[in-house]
Chain A
């Protein structure tokens, strides 16, 4: 099935209706397994039980960044290929990505209090996530202020692409500016530095979060399509009344 087959919103809705229950079931199962494994994982010898926050924090951070990547791809779809569902996909990804970024910041802050002794430090990784959240909020503000959905979507698509180009620069400059957060420890050339007893639950949780993201994304896309249909039906009705 090609991407172009999904261009028909009705067909897309039919596929979503068929797939969504399975996705919800898979998400629930993955979360059940992941949370069970995470809660039974051994405590860290230094951090104690607070290490469990990592199982929410790290996947949320990944998915927060994944959301922007998805928005950029959708933006290309909107501007270059004019795929009719691309702007719906971009619009749906923005609030979800913002929420995951927010979860990442909140859980990180709760972890930082017992471990670093403070809720917030102006560290490079924290700050770059905060800037990512601000960029998300900017995109959301753009959607809120646009009267016509199509125009707002194109404006947001341009902003997503500019953000995608700028995010590495922001990340790099903020890294240069100040750093306390530990460097990447899961994906490294020399192999992961995390013990398997902690790594396996983490990866299961990451998978569960990804399924949650995809499920929410499809559901929000469906709602957005229906909302647009309601809007155009209302407009048609208003025209009929006037005529």
Chain B
């Protein structure tokens, strides 16, 4: 347990210090949302209607871009080999790393989402609910992305390959995330079912992600 906490703290420290790029994802999120009205037009009614979808897509892309850092730097300086030889089961190590990654890249997205929702003319009362859907759904994005990150570091190929592998698997998260957000804003459909399925997806990927990522690392780096 101490080891896992140590890994968690180490990864978070590395992420927030110089060169860590923890808040790069949130900055990217902000820029993407700012670009959207330029492409769609400043029609506030339209923006309010498609706002949840834009926010979810922006969060998906932002968390995807940050995934590269999950294993790549540790692999470059050799600390990944040490982690793999450690006494803690690799699944738990990987899960701790992913949790640290979510806390430093996923959580900032959740925090600034209400502000961005305000820019997209989403109803004030719904902003909290919107952030809640992101808080429930972004862990799934990180833990599914974990598999892609492990596969691409094992093959020493990053970038686009990672996106190609991970994006199709995130389809359900996007569907239920946007459904829950729309339900919270429009209120025409019940919020509960979509939101609970979103939570279920997160819990499911919390289990599947570390196991598959560990298998990828073990088979790729042996």
Contacts and interface: CB of A to CB of B under 8 A. Distances in A.
A and B found bound together: yes
Interface stretch (B40-48, B78-86, B170-178): B170-178
Interface string B183-222: 0000000000000010001001000100010011001100
A8 interface: no
Specify which of B154, B168, B208, B219 lies most central, judged by the most chain A CB atoms within 10 Å of its CB. Answer: B168
Interface in A148-167: 151-152, 154-155, 158-159, 161-163, 165-166
B161 A145 contact: yes
Contact of B219 (A145, A158, A162): A158
A131 B220 contact: no
Interface string B152-179: 0011010001001101110110011001
Given A151-B155, A154-B220, A170 B161 contact: no
B67 interface: no
Contacts of A173: 171-172, 175-176, 197
Task: Summarize B's interface: helix, strand, loop or mixed.
Answer: helix
Interface stretch (A52-60, A133-141, A183-191): A133-141
A79 B216 CA distance: 10
B15 to A, nearest CB: 26
B169 to A, nearest CB: 5
Contacts of A137: 164
A79 B172 CA distance: 27
Interface string A102-127: 00000000000000000000000000
Contact of B155 (A138, A155, A162, A176): A155
Given A141-B161, A142-B161, A166 B169 contact: yes
Nearest to A178: B175
Interface in B126-159: 147, 151, 154-155, 157
A176 B212 contact: no
B137 to A, nearest CB: 12
B142 to A, nearest CB: 15
Contact of B216 (A141, A145, A155, A166): A155
Contacts of B171: 131, 170, 173-174
Interface residues of A, number: 28
B175 A155 contact: no
B154 A135 contact: no
Given A145-B157, A162-B208, A173-B171, A138 B220 contact: no
Interface in A164-203: 165-166, 169-170, 172-174, 176-177
A72 to B, nearest CB: 13
Q: Counting chain A CB atoms within 10 Å of each CB, which of B157, B167, B176 scores highest? A: B157
A159 B165 contact: yes
A172 to B, nearest CB: 8
Nearest to A172: B172
A134 B168 contact: yes
Determine which residue in A135, A152, A154, A162 has the highest number of CB atoms from chain B within 10 A of its CB, and name it.
A162
Nearest to A137: B164
A49 interface: no
Contacts of A33: none
Contacts of B154: 151, 155
A155 B151 contact: yes
Interface string B59-73: 000000000000000
18 contacts: A79-B215, A131-B171, A134-B168, A135-B169, A141-B165, A145-B161, A152-B155, A154-B220, A155-B220, A158-B147, A158-B212, A158-B216, A159-B151, A166-B172, A172-B172, A173-B175, A173-B197, A174-B171
Given A135-B169, A142-B151, 8 more contacts: A134-B164, A134-B167, A141-B165, A155-B216, A158-B216, A166-B172, A170-B168, A174-B171
> Closest 9 A-B residue pairs measured CB to CB?
A173-B172, A154-B219, A134-B168, A145-B157, A138-B165, A173-B175, A135-B168, A158-B216, A155-B151
